[in-house]
Structure 1
Amino acid sequence: MRRLLICLVLPFLLAACGAEPIWAPDEAVKKAAYSTGAPPSVTLFTVIGTSSGQGGHSALMIDGVQRVMWDPAGSWYHPWVPERNDVHYGITDRMKTFYIDYHARETWYVREQTVPVTLAAAEQIRAQAEAHGAVGKMMCANSVVDVLRGVPGFESIPRTLSPLRVSAAWAKLPGATLSDHYDGDPADNSGVLMIQQERIQPAFDANRN
């Protein structure tokens, strides 16, 4: 039994050790900072299989002094969104839409669950995400729980490797709202980032002129 447990746990440990650190320059992070002006909140994104119902990914969008995305072990990337070890800065409404669009396709949908928080709680979660470090594959849900540790109001979120368990607990938090995002794009989303950049490039060029 001990050998079996080691065999089951070892891949997770190796995945966590294999995370590749990314560190955007100070200037890029400072320039990208975006404030919505809305009341502070934290949003849980959960990627769920449309047919299987299995949880595929967990991430947090933290809206405090500025809005950032904690995307542990995520594959989403945009050249105009600087990243520091799975924390993405400059999450405007358009970038939020791009993030959802990247994950939602015919085989997966995205569940968006938002809860109101105090500004102090939002900033504590952001600080803990920034201090956490890059996350290895398959550890996204566990890492989401990590950055919530010690934050008042999130004590009920269980330590787990299951995105669905985190989502189910999140739904019970006071004031939680829920929206599901579906998209009929093909299962292969390799061209999504290119399309996103094409959509935003004309506006960028116009602002430069």
Structure 2
Amino acid sequence: MTVLVRLCALLLVVASVSACSVRNPIESNSPDSEVAAARYVDSGPKQLTLYTMISNDTGAGAHTSILINASERVAFDPAGSFRTDGIAAKNDVVYGMTPYLVDQYTRFHARETYHVVLQTIEVSPEVAEMALRKAKTLGPVLEAQCALTTSQLLSSLPGFEDAPRSYYPRKLMDYFTAKGATYDRLFEYDDDDKSKVLAAFVPEYESVPTN
């Protein structure tokens, strides 16, 4: 493969995953006290939910992340930008994924140019816990490596050893389809500038009325 071909291939990868273009520096990590305080335990089944952001224009995958429901529920959001005051995050793991925050997280990724595909697979408590531990070791993730890093997490789990190691979010989406995952999509047509969404974000503890 010539240098020019390699360069073109690299540019294609970067273009296809342009949405995961933020490396979250260690300095931006929430304090341990905030991470601990945000901890949320969901009583539902242990699950892995793959998020894939899809271009409404081209159908190409642009970002990959995964919601992990284990002894606590977190989102592994590699090189993602869902970060602002009131959101506890450390090394690309977003903590405290309550139903409210899951809704905010999902809607944050849907916009006039992209929709979100959500695919869920139930797993054993042991596998869910392994995924949680692995997610906590993988960040901060380099730009344009969201799908690759998520695939590394998945392939380390029993039953997912055959997960494709790929830079392309759609390959992981197709893999989850083949594994029999549930399938749902969210379309929204608000402004493409999601910084406005974060600017308007209201932390859950502020959004709950007090008596």
- TM interval, shorter chain, is 0.7 to 0.9
Q: Does 1:79 align with 2:77?
A: no
In the alignment, is the contact (CA less than 8 A) between 2:50 and 2:119 conserved in 1?
yes
**Following the alignment from structure 1 to structure 2, what is the Cα–Cα distance between the partners of residues 23 and 77?**
10
Counterpart in 2 of 1:44? Answer: 50
TM-score by length of 1: 0.87
Counterpart in 2 of 1:177? Answer: 182
Counterpart in 2 of 1:193? Answer: 198
Query: How large is the RMSD of aligned CA atoms in angstroms?
Result: 2.5
Alignment map for 1:138-153 (pairs within 5 Å): 138-153=144-159
Tell me how far 1:202 sits from its aligned partner: 4.1
**Following the alignment from structure 2 to structure 1, what is the Cα–Cα distance between the partners of residues 42 and 204?**
22
Give the partner amino acid of 2:201: Q
3-state SS, counterpart of residue 170 of structure 2: helix
**Following the alignment from structure 1 to structure 2, what is the Cα–Cα distance between the partners of residues 52 and 137?**
21
3-state SS, counterpart of residue 154 of structure 1: coil
**Following the alignment from structure 1 to structure 2, what is the Cα–Cα distance between the partners of residues 106 and 10?**
27
Instruction: Give % identity.
Output: 31
In the alignment, is the contact (CA less than 8 A) between 1:73 and 1:137 conserved in 2?
yes
**Following the alignment from structure 1 to structure 2, what is the Cα–Cα distance between the partners of residues 51 and 10?**
21
Q: 1:184 to 1:7 in 2, by over 3 A?
A: closer
**Following the alignment from structure 2 to structure 1, what is the Cα–Cα distance between the partners of residues 2 and 136?**
35
Tell me how far 1:161 sits from its aligned partner: 0.4
In the alignment, is the contact (CA less than 8 A) between 2:100 and 2:204 conserved in 1?
no
* Deviation string, structure 1 residues 102-146 (Cα, Å, up to 9, x no partner): 110111000000000011111111111111120111100001011
Give the partner amino acid of 2:171: R
In the alignment, is the contact (CA less than 8 A) between 1:19 and 1:137 conserved in 2?
no
Tell me how far 1:5 sits from its aligned partner: 5.8
Q: Paired residue for 1:158, among 164, 169, 192?
A: 164
Q: 1:148 to 1:26 in 2, by over 3 A?
A: same
Tell me how far 1:173 sits from its aligned partner: 1.2
Q: Does 1:61 align with 2:61?
A: no
Tell me how far 1:101 sits from its aligned partner: 1.1
Tell me how far 1:23 sits from its aligned partner: 2.9
Tell me how far 1:172 sits from its aligned partner: 1.3
Counterpart in 2 of 1:98? Answer: 104
Q: Paired residue for 2:136, among 130, 138, 142?
A: 130
Q: Does 1:118 align with 2:135?
A: no
Counterpart in 2 of 1:3? Answer: 3
* Structure 1 stretches lacking a partner, 5+ long: none
**Following the alignment from structure 2 to structure 1, what is the Cα–Cα distance between the partners of residues 92 and 203?**
24
* Deviation string, structure 1 residues 60-107 (Cα, Å, up to 9, x no partner): 000011000000010111422211110010001111111111110111
